[in-house]
Amino acid sequence: MSEKLIEISEINPVELYGVNENKLKVIKSYFPKLKVIARGDILKAIGADSEILLFEQKIALLIEHLLKYKQLTENNIERLMDEDSSTGSSGTLQHDDETIVFGNGGLIIKAKTANQRKLVKEIEKNDLVFAVGPAGTGKTYTAVALAVRALKNKELRRIILTRPAVESGENLGFLPGDLKEKLDPYMQPLYDALRDMIPAEKLSEMLENGTIQIAPLAFMRGRTLDKCFVILDEAQNATESQFKMFLTRMGKTAKFIITGDDTQIDLPKKQPSGLIQALKVLKGIDEISMVIFDEKDVIRHQLVKDIIMAYRKVEE
């Protein structure tokens, strides 16, 4: 058992600890084997030497992030904590083979689980990939990162993100506002991912000029989606006819990723899911990949994994 005092005098401790130490609690959660005590601009870490060394490295990264970007959110903390500990001479995390794209505020977006890495490899080989599995496994986020990378590398000209406008039995007609205001809540996860990866001003410009398009699935009818990276999210809520319509929009030089969770279908009971049908009908076609995520890929709170397992037991 060792003890180390870490001085953080170059920043205001509150910026690192957060109000009522809410940020420090997030940091501590990544080091359950350490006892961490904060006293002003001194952090005391008590535990094994290897744990203390890693803790010190992570605190250095957080401080560097604060000094460079003048802010540190809980999301920043989680992302930096989840990165591996290999650092360059400057102390910042370096690009590696698993990095997909560099986002805002120094955010390094990479494949973190086996199936996320598989999704990255499969979209490089094939033009149509299914990513199916439970909530919290990073399917949509990884898919959006791959689309942003393709756009930044000028591999394709546009990104098109679409979802069925069906959610937990709700009806668009009951929502206030015009069509865009009605639809935006359904598209919010896609906007959130993009905001992590593209500066706000640039993102607004891309949305304005159509380089990035976010639209409900019904709006895809009649279009030929070519020279673009297309993501169909929440695909389990597409009907069989919608699904066939969407798949047949594919142009010669397009990339399609279809994400969904076949355990969370919000369609009316008598309405079959197009995703379920497509997984059966298209299975075995060589140039179509299917990546099946499971609870091992969950990157949200540990409880999400436990909840998925509990529901699975009931269903079985």
Between CA 136 and CA 259 the distance in angstroms is 12
Between CA 82 and CA 154 the distance in angstroms is 29
CATH code given to domain 109-315: 3.40.50.300
Put simply, whether the predicted model's pTM sits higher than 0.85 gets the answer: no
Between CA 294 and CA 280 the distance in angstroms is 19
Low-confidence ranges of the chain (pLDDT < 50): 85-96, 168-170
Nearest one of 266, 248, 265, 247 to 257, comparing CA atoms: 247
Q: For 62-106, what is each residue's pLDDT tens digit?
A: 988 888 778 888 888 888 887 654 443 333 334 445 789 877 766
Q: Which pLDDT score is estimated for 84?
A: 56
Between CA 260 and CA 76 the distance in angstroms is 26
Check residue 129 and give left, alpha or beta (phi > 0: left; psi -120 to 50: alpha). beta
Q: For 8-47, what is each residue's pLDDT tens digit?
A: 877 899 999 999 999 999 999 989 999 999 999 999 999 9
User: Which are the contacts of 47, defined by CB distance < 8 A and separation ≥ 6?
Assistant: 1, 2, 31, 33, 34, 35
Q: Which pLDDT score is estimated for 179?
A: 57
Q: Which pLDDT score is estimated for 14?
A: 92
Sole residue written with tokens 């098109």: 160
Query: Could you give the 3-state DSSP secondary structure of residue 231?
Result: strand
Between CA 130 and CA 86 the distance in angstroms is 32
Nearest one of 316, 262, 248 to 294, comparing CA atoms: 262
Two domains, one topology: 2-89 and 109-315: no
The CATH architecture that domain 2-89 belongs to is: 2-Layer Sandwich (3.30)
Between CA 217 and CA 233 the distance in angstroms is 9
Q: Classify the C-alpha dihedral 101-189-223-123 as positive or negative.
A: positive
Q: Which pLDDT score is estimated for 141?
A: 94
Structural tokens at position 118: 């598989």
| Domain chopping of the chain, boundaries | 2-89, 109-315
Between CA 163 and CA 186 the distance in angstroms is 8
Between CA 163 and CA 249 the distance in angstroms is 15
Q: Which pLDDT score is estimated for 140?
A: 93
Q: Which pLDDT score is estimated for 176?
A: 56
Q: Which pLDDT score is estimated for 172?
A: 52
